[in-house]
Structure 1
Amino acid sequence: MAGTLFVTGCSSATTEQWKRLGLPEGASDRTEAVRSLWIGAWIAALIVGVMVWALILYAVVRYRRRTEEAPRQTRYNLPLEVLYTLAPFAIIGVLFFYTIEHGNKITAMSDSPNHTINVVGQQWQWTFNYHETVNGQEGVWETGTLERPAELWLPVNESVRFELTSPDVIHSFWVPAFYFKLDAIPGRTNKFELTPTKIGVFAGKCAELCGLYHSRMLMTVHVVTADQYQAHLRELAAKGQTGAATGGQDATTIPGYGQQEGGN
């Protein structure tokens, strides 16, 4: 009865999330590979857990203490030792195989993506440089501040390559609905590619502790039609936000103090 009440009390969204074992609803072409690996790992863990607990309970019942006499002592059991040596290697081998197989799908990149966006993560906001020709101008950009988080616009069903850079410390670009996360590391450019598959507005954030205002290093991701995407780029060009930007203006300013962290 209690179980029935519990199930009926769950919304359809909660039920679907339970089926995904806690994952958010996916919105990119990397969804299936990540979800398959995630759920497969949980199934493997459940099988191993059930087997271990079954062996523990069997040993508890089968070899429970019956008399005051000490049980017969055994120096070794070769078949058993071979089993618990080879079994972990077999489990690790299977998990390793599927991790590599799915990992290659998740990190795959094409020779010519439809769009390329340079993502600059800096303390403490995001800047997006769209490598597009808009109204005869090469490249447009937009950025955020602590008071107004950045917005990223992407066209649905068109591949996008992200090039991640950072001028200060390590940040991590993460949009949970895209099932992908990658660090922006000073001195190097990290790249990944995916295709948004669902129109909507999604939350993004920095997933690497990067300083005082790490918790406010947020972004809003708009996945729109191709026409809406191009219209947004034209709006940026009309504002004069052309070329490339290396970071948000006053991104490191502490509100109320008018100075950067560590300043006098």
Structure 2
Amino acid sequence: MRNNHRLRWAAVPLAATLAVVLAGCTQAQLHGFLPGFENEGETAVTNQTDRIAGLWTTSWIVLLIVGLITWGLIIWTIVVYRRRKGQTGLPVQLRYNMPIEIFYTVVPLILVVGFFAFTVRDQIEIESRYATPDVTIEVQAKQWAWDFNYVNEDVFSPGIQAQDDPNGAPGSRIESKLPVLVLPVDKTIEIALESRDVIHSFWVIDFLYKKDVIPGKTNYMSVTPQRIGTYAGKCAELCGEYHSLMLFNVEVVSQADYETYIQSLRTAGNVGQLDNQFDRNQNQPGTSAPTAPEGN
């Protein structure tokens, strides 16, 4: 009874200390130092970033607790059961211990099932497509840049690969020449991803989400941007010699600025859609290979 009383009093300051430490954490620390959570009080970048960050951070907390328990038991065993001076021979051998065997079988099973269940729950939510999105974008990946079709507005924005900045630091790029995908804030967006050549991967870093772009297949991303700003994007799949130059920016803007940008594309003559006429994969499933002249 006395031991339980002591444990209770020991738990109170420990809980208070933990609460104070967590209260003093920044947004970046509370979200596992993931991108998009640098400043206090900011709206989440998209409708999914809090969910993704929560899954990531909670998983690491659970794994750290498991690691601390495991290392604690290892160190405790080394200290308590070490060979003392004057001892000889082998210690008492224990061949079976059913409670321990059940414990180290059941607990890992619970962890695996738990991680799987929470991951599937969040993945289903993230991968669900909008029935009637406000904006539909078609992204055409190519070595080594991105073209963007604004399907609803019937305009397009062609892109070139990143250009080195001769006046900047080594490895810096000319920002004004990067392909730009403009999205209206607080609108449901569906992005259809297609490739003209090899496998790419469409990654907007602060969205905490990426999706492979596979030749002959259309993948989809559904997202609602919630914070106005400019967010860096890149190809996350090694796709050839200039893979590192396959960069782009996503600009989340107000509805009025979005309409102004669409009008600027029309004024520039970028009316219509960039289709598969530039596709280099003529023999992919679902495409028609050129017909060879008879006799060749």
The TM tier, using the shorter chain, reads 0.7 to 0.9
Distance, in Å, in 2 between the alignment partners of 1:46 and 1:21 is: 13
Work out whether residues 137 and 148 of structure 2, in 8 Å CA contact, stay in contact via their aligned partners in 1. yes
2:156 corresponds to which residue? 141
Distance, in Å, in 2 between the alignment partners of 1:220 and 1:91 is: 38
2:232 corresponds to which residue? 203
Work out whether residues 32 and 53 of structure 2, in 8 Å CA contact, stay in contact via their aligned partners in 1. no
Cα shift at 1:78:
2.2
Shifted more, 52-61 versus 150-159: the winner is: 52-61
Equivalences for residues 91-240 of structure 1 within 5 A: 91-133=111-153, 139-146=154-161, 147=163, 148-240=177-269
Equivalences for residues 16-165 of structure 1 within 5 A: 16-25=27-36, 26-66=44-84, 67-133=87-153, 139-146=154-161, 147=163, 148-165=177-194
Letter in 2 for 1:28: T
1:258 corresponds to which residue? none
Cα shift at 1:15:
4.4
TM-score of the pair, normalised by structure 1: 0.83
Cα shift at 1:237:
1.1
Q: Percent identity?
A: 40
Deviations 1:137-174 (A, max 9, x none): xx110121123321110000001000000011111101
Give 5+ residue unaligned stretches, structure 2.
1-24, 37-43, 164-176, 279-296
Work out whether residues 126 and 219 of structure 1, in 8 Å CA contact, stay in contact via their aligned partners in 2. yes
Letter in 1 for 2:237: E
Structure of higher CA gyration radius: 2
TM-score of the pair, normalised by structure 2: 0.74
Distance, in Å, in 1 between the alignment partners of 2:237 and 2:113 is: 30
Give me the CA root mean square deviation.
1.8
Distance, in Å, in 1 between the alignment partners of 2:219 and 2:94 is: 56
Distance, in Å, in 2 between the alignment partners of 1:74 and 1:47 is: 27
Deviations 1:227-246 (A, max 9, x none): 11111111111111111114
Question: How many pairs does the alignment contain?
Answer: 231
Cα shift at 1:74:
2.4
Give 5+ residue unaligned stretches, structure 1.
1-13, 134-138, 250-264
More contact order relative to length (CA 8 Å, sep ≥ 6): 1
SS of the aligned residue for 1:55 comes to: helix
